[in-house]
Chains A and B, each alone.
Chain A
Amino acid sequence: MKKIFLLLTLTLPIAFYFTLPFHWLPDNIKKQHYKLFGLPAYQSLESSRKTKDFDIEDKCPVDRKHWRQATKLDGVDIEASKTCLVDNPALIAAAVKGTNNVDPMVLMESRLTPDAIVKGRDLDGDGDPDEIHITLEVMELNGSSPDYNEEIASYDIAPGIRPGMWVFAPKSFGMSTENFESLKANPLLRAPSPSIRVEQGDKVTITLENSHYMPHTIHLHGVDHPFVDENGEGNDGVPQTSEVPLMPGMSRSYEFQPRQTGTMFYHCHVQPQVHIMMGLQGMLIVEENRPNNWLETINVGAGHVRHRSVASKENYDSEYDLHYESIDKELNNRIKESNDVRKTTKSMHRDYDITDAKNDYFLLNGKSFPYTAQESIIVTKPNQKIKLRILNGSDEGIALHTHGHKFTETHADGVLIPKAAQVTRDVGWIAPAQRADYLVQTVNDGLHSYGEGIWLMHDHVEKTVTNDGIAPGGSGTAIVYEKYLSEGGFPLAMGVDWNRFFIADYYKKNIPVWQSYDENNFFADTVKEPTYALRFALMIFIWTLWVFSLTQVIRR
């Protein structure tokens, strides 16, 4: 018996040596090892998973309902929109005619309530309504439930990415989800809060029905509005100077009759460092007063304006509302932590510290790449004049860069820049809350455009081309010439395969960065050493066995 222990005491150190991770050994010992046993054989890495191993989302669903083509619905002309995903024409028709005037079937299809957008009298007798009453609700996206661990009223900003958000939404009827079997938010519930369009001189009322579980207000940033309304009540939406915030279940109206035109901004002013960043912000555009100027009063999800103002049609060939936002997941996902409103309130307004914050997601019109490619690309022909109305709703500046084009900034914060002072350039710096109107001309003169193609348009603050650090993502989109657009509306890109961007696992870092064209797996993920745990267990086992044997040998 003792012989066995003696043998073990002598042999176990050798076994111990071989269980050590080889790279832990000092170089001179390694050298001796190689001399004795020769160089180690080549060990190949396991290959990574291929794109085809994952479920790929439909990049560009077929437009079976023919929503993309130019159409006339209930007397409302709707321009063609060539991207994959476009607005429901019924929604546009209801937004133009007013939910009180539109055909009841169209209204049903729009899902708006009859009092969502009420258009009243024509006060100046120029053929369009000037009394406009809009009702907004506050909706939560990607919220939590006490009974299952999935986001409810779910809204993907990119494949598999669902940060919590709050948005203003036009008043709608029915369920917040698509139907009882689905947890997905219905199409009216989305980011950003809708763009609102009114005419200069309109008597506008915006009623806020606070359908959310926290207090909110509306502040009309940059819009000509009186500090108090006709009854002397606060009309500025600022809790410290104007009014007590609107509690859940209550409603309040804000009134204004704007004398000046321009691209403006509206947002909640309650605890703005939280509520604006959660998504309670939208674009508010005051158009020039023109005869027969029926406006698309709300543009859900911002983006392409398919029923434009008279002034826009005179001066431009197309118009887009581009609303940039950013999300710090450390803030936005706090709504998922608890269903006790008291805990959520404290977590968001006391525990969260924006001075320590870093943004993770960057949105253009409520989506990040690759979803921006489905609905936010700017489709054009040569020799067009495109109007971009841009709002920076992020808490950081954006450095908007157009590939292949130099744009001209025509308006700053809604105010016309004198022609001589207008600057033409390819990076525009837009501070938080600033608005800029850009004119993009697709004239191939080497200045305004370098010719037809797929030209990216992105914020050049480099983190914004990622989704939480994974590129490509973020608020990037493109100016795409029709020649380079598929029939279905997707860019005919000539570079890498886009399928993998439509896989949730790509943004979970489960697909190597150059997988799609790295046929030899040069850049495949290395396999984590699975032997480590086993090795350590073996080392400990050998060590204890050796100590035990030694004690047996010594005891005699």
Chain B
Amino acid sequence: MKTFQSFITLFLISSLSNALVAEEMDHSKHQMNNMENIESMDHSKHQIMDHSTHANMDHMGEMEGMDHMHHNMSLDAEGMVMNSNDSKLPEDCKAINQTYNITVKAGTKYSVDFPGTIFGYEKHELQVEPCSLLNITFVNEDHIRHQWMVHGLPKYLYPQGMFHLEAAGGAQKSGSFIVPSDNKTYLIHCDISQHMEKGMKAQLVVGKGNGDLPSIPGISGAWINPN
């Protein structure tokens, strides 16, 4: 029940107004036709139930939390790129509309303008046209790991709906993804414990977007716990 609630909470933060929630529901219903999606849904449910047990999968190959295994992923000492895709079009796009080459810098120094935060991106908002190809270069200017993850992408192209760049301290990583045609605002964050909460949070606005996400430095306030 608890995990279900957290799922809902997370679901809600990615879409603020009621109308948006409805849109989101339709969207996922539509996606349910896709086998891959159903599979990944089951899988994530399984993982939620699984949590601290260390033990619910069927063979050694599938370790706990290693949902990463199902992703298109490359890992080295410099970091990680997950679900990079510069060619497969979303179902609702006939062609790539525009190509953006974006460099995103990350580090503690980008939090200076937002008192109370510690971590930050150089850009906390990106705006692109629907059906665009985004070539992202993520530059980590700190001496620790940072991530630039986008959530809510179509699951049939991006397992768990996720595009993920992780760069070790002082390193940079590049990857690409193609956004669908609908007006939507996507969550971008660093999932290292407390990095998002302490400022490393941004949004990707596709087309007109569908409303600002909460607690984005310089853009929006907190949703529940205003400081």
Contact between A173 and B75 (Cβ–Cβ < 8 Å)? yes
Interface string of B91-132 (1 = CB under 8 A from A): 000000000000000011000000111110000000000000
Q: Which stretch (B19-27, B30-38, B204-212, B217-225) binds chain A?
A: B217-225
Tell me which residues across on chain A come within 8 A of B145, comparing CB atoms.
Answer: 113, 137, 171, 173, 209, 211
Contact between A145 and B108 (Cβ–Cβ < 8 Å)? no
With A85-B55, A179-B48 known, 6 other A-B pairs at CB within 8 A are A108-B66, A111-B63, A137-B192, A178-B48, A341-B116, A341-B117
Contact between A148 and B224 (Cβ–Cβ < 8 Å)? yes
Interface string of A57-81 (1 = CB under 8 A from B): 0100111111100000000000000
Tell me which residues across on chain A come within 8 A of B1, comparing CB atoms.
Answer: 55
- Report the bound CA distance from A246 to B15 in whole Å: 38
**Chain A minimum-CB-distance residue to B6:** A183
Interface string of A134-145 (1 = CB under 8 A from B): 000101110111
The one of A156, A181, A249, A338 in contact with B7, judged by C-beta atoms closer than 8 angstroms, is: A181
Q: A146-B214, A250-B142 are in contact. Are A174 and B166 (CB under 8 A)?
A: yes
- Report the bound CA distance from A111 to B168 in whole Å: 15
Interface residues, chain A, with chain B CB atoms under 8 Å away: 55, 58, 61-67, 85-86, 88, 90, 108-109, 111, 113-115, 137, 139-141, 143-150, 152-153, 156, 171, 173-187, 189, 209-213, 247-251, 338-343
Contact between A248 and B108 (Cβ–Cβ < 8 Å)? yes
Contact between B10 and A180 (Cβ–Cβ < 8 Å)? yes
Q: A113-B77, A181-B10 are in contact. Are A339 and B222 (CB under 8 A)?
A: yes
Tell me which residues across on chain B come within 8 A of A156, comparing CB atoms.
Answer: 52
Contact between B64 and A88 (Cβ–Cβ < 8 Å)? yes
Contact between A211 and B80 (Cβ–Cβ < 8 Å)? no
* Shortest CB distance A260–B (Å): 32
* Shortest CB distance B170–A (Å): 9
- Report the bound CA distance from A183 to B66 in whole Å: 15
Tell me which residues across on chain A come within 8 A of B7, comparing CB atoms.
Answer: 181
**Chain B minimum-CB-distance residue to A156:** B52
* Shortest CB distance B180–A (Å): 18
Q: A114-B77, A213-B119, A339-B225 are in contact. Are A250 and B143 (CB under 8 A)?
A: yes
Secondary structure at the B interface, as helix, strand, loop or mixed, is loop
Secondary structure at the A interface, as helix, strand, loop or mixed, is loop
B18 within 8 Å of A (CB atoms): no
- Report the bound CA distance from A283 to B53 in whole Å: 25
Tell me which residues across on chain B come within 8 A of A184, comparing CB atoms.
Answer: 51-52
Give how many B residues have a beta carbon under 8 Å from the other chain's beta carbons.
Answer: 73
Tell me which residues across on chain B come within 8 A of A342, comparing CB atoms.
Answer: 115-116
* Shortest CB distance B99–A (Å): 27
Contact between B54 and A211 (Cβ–Cβ < 8 Å)? no
Q: A111-B65, A339-B116 are in contact. Are A145 and B197 (CB under 8 A)?
A: yes
Contact between A61 and B191 (Cβ–Cβ < 8 Å)? no
* Interface set, chain B 40-89, CB cutoff 8 A to A: 44-45, 47-48, 50-60, 62-69, 75-77, 79-80
B169 within 8 Å of A (CB atoms): yes
Tell me which residues across on chain B come within 8 A of A209, comparing CB atoms.
Answer: 143-145, 169
**Chain B minimum-CB-distance residue to A114:** B77
B3 within 8 Å of A (CB atoms): yes
Tell me which residues across on chain B come within 8 A of A178, comparing CB atoms.
Answer: 47-48, 50-51, 64-65
Q: A179-B67, A213-B194 are in contact. Are A146 and B215 (CB under 8 A)?
A: yes
* Shortest CB distance A179–B (Å): 5
- Report the bound CA distance from A171 to B10 in whole Å: 26
Tell me which residues across on chain B come within 8 A of A144, comparing CB atoms.
Answer: 197, 225
- Report the bound CA distance from A67 to B60 in whole Å: 8
What are 26 residue pairs bridging A and B, where the CB atoms are less than 8 Å apart in the complex? Answer: A61-B55, A63-B55, A67-B54, A88-B64, A113-B168, A114-B75, A140-B194, A148-B6, A148-B9, A150-B5, A152-B193, A178-B65, A179-B65, A179-B67, A179-B160, A182-B48, A183-B3, A210-B144, A339-B197, A339-B215, A339-B227, A341-B116, A342-B115, A342-B116, A343-B116, A343-B227
- Report the bound CA distance from A379 to B10 in whole Å: 41
The one of A58, A141, A175, A182 in contact with B6, judged by C-beta atoms closer than 8 angstroms, is: A182
**Chain B minimum-CB-distance residue to A87:** B54
Interface string of B178-190 (1 = CB under 8 A from A): 0000000000000
Contact between A175 and B227 (Cβ–Cβ < 8 Å)? no
- Report the bound CA distance from A109 to B73 in whole Å: 13
* Shortest CB distance B48–A (Å): 5
Contact between A109 and B66 (Cβ–Cβ < 8 Å)? yes
The one of A139, A179, A189, A339 in contact with B198, judged by C-beta atoms closer than 8 angstroms, is: A339
- Report the bound CA distance from A137 to B145 in whole Å: 9
Tell me which residues across on chain A come within 8 A of B108, comparing CB atoms.
Answer: 247-249
Contact between A147 and B223 (Cβ–Cβ < 8 Å)? yes
- Report the bound CA distance from A247 to B108 in whole Å: 10
* Residue of B13, B68, B164, B215 most packed against chain A (CB within 10 A): B68
Q: A85-B52, A183-B6, A343-B116 are in contact. Are A338 and B225 (CB under 8 A)?
A: yes
Contact between A213 and B118 (Cβ–Cβ < 8 Å)? yes
* Shortest CB distance A94–B (Å): 12
* Shortest CB distance B128–A (Å): 22
Tell me which residues across on chain A come within 8 A of B50, comparing CB atoms.
Answer: 178
Contact between B224 and A149 (Cβ–Cβ < 8 Å)? yes
Contact between A143 and B193 (Cβ–Cβ < 8 Å)? yes
* Residue of B50, B192, B195 most packed against chain A (CB within 10 A): B192
Contact between B144 and A143 (Cβ–Cβ < 8 Å)? no
Tell me which residues across on chain B come within 8 A of A113, comparing CB atoms.
Answer: 75, 77, 145, 168
Contact between A65 and B55 (Cβ–Cβ < 8 Å)? yes
Contact between A181 and B193 (Cβ–Cβ < 8 Å)? no
Contact between B197 and A177 (Cβ–Cβ < 8 Å)? no
